[in-house]
Amino acid sequence: MRPVFASTLLISLLTAGLSACGDKTPQSSTELGQGGSVISGSAGPNGAQGADASLVKCDSPVATLALAENPDGYTMSSHYQLPASPVPLVKLLAQQSGCFRVVDRAAGLRSTMQENELKEAGVVRANSTVSKGKGYEAQYTVIPSLTFSEQDAGRGLVGVIGAIPVLRDIAGLVGLLEQVKLKEAQVALLLTDNETTEQLAAATGSARTTDLGLGGLVASKLGGAAGLGWSNTNEGKVISAAFLDAHNKLVTQVRGLQAKALPAAVPTKRQP
């Protein structure tokens, strides 16, 4: 074991041991706003808050927009399967960009219909603010699609290195490269005009991340010790970044569309 590594390991173990002796209470902490992906923040009356700096925006909305689930799902054969629908994240991007006013055609719409049913059944008050004829139509629809997602796109690099005698003989090089994983994803966003059914715009987005895998190497040498290296990259974060890329490209096309007649905006409190 190298002296520098051994010293670092000894200091880490001593620190952990002293902490454990001084306090038997399990330690944990929660950091709000940390983690997640490049799609973050909020959108609403106060505009885009905490959005990624690379998000492309519009000066004003061009239409009302609904986002629909891809009827084919988001599972690619022998590839990564999305743990959940990407639609909520794409909705956030669409609203943060200021290019669209987003209408709900999923759980929110079902709740509206339920409130109307309760009103007709006499359960809620007769002068309820939720009533028929107040909903906004979706002038455009965006459908997201997962083109491909590869968890180990750099696998072939090890074979190339192993085939070159000079590089193959370098101690630990092949073993190190086996720990390096390239995660890639490509997605698409399709924009349809609901009045004409014409697909007005389409955009693909892609992202790649390199997982050095050093956490795995250190853990194997230390018999499972944790916290001394990088952790594995979450494939979902790569896919989220690809959707941000696709959305930015779609916005450049949307800017060329003539704005449709929009319904009156919901009044908001005047900001100080």
Position 165 scores a pLDDT of 54
pLDDT recorded at residue 149: 66
Q: What pLDDT is stored for residue 103 in this prediction?
A: 96
> For residue 231, what are the contacts with CB-CB under 8 A and spacing of at least 6?
215
Residue 237: what pLDDT? 82
| Residue 37 contacts residue 230 (beta carbons within 8 Å) | no
Assessment of whether the complete model's pTM goes beyond 0.95: no
Distance CA 15, CA 23 (A): 12
* pLDDT tens-digit series, residues 230-247: 233 467 788 889 999 999
* Sign (positive or negative) of CA dihedral 19, 20, 25, 29: positive
pLDDT of res. 100:
95
Distance, in Å, from the CA atom of 46 to the CA atom of 8, rounded to the nearest integer, reads 48
Residues near 158 by beta carbon (within 8 Å), at least 6 away in sequence: 174, 177, 178
Rounded distance between C-alpha atoms, residue 265 and residue 139, angstroms: 15
Average pLDDT across each block of 10 residues of the chain; the chain has 272 residues. List them in order: 45 46 56 67 88 93 95 65 79 95 94 94 92 93 85 49 49 49 84 97 89 43 29 66 94 95 84 54
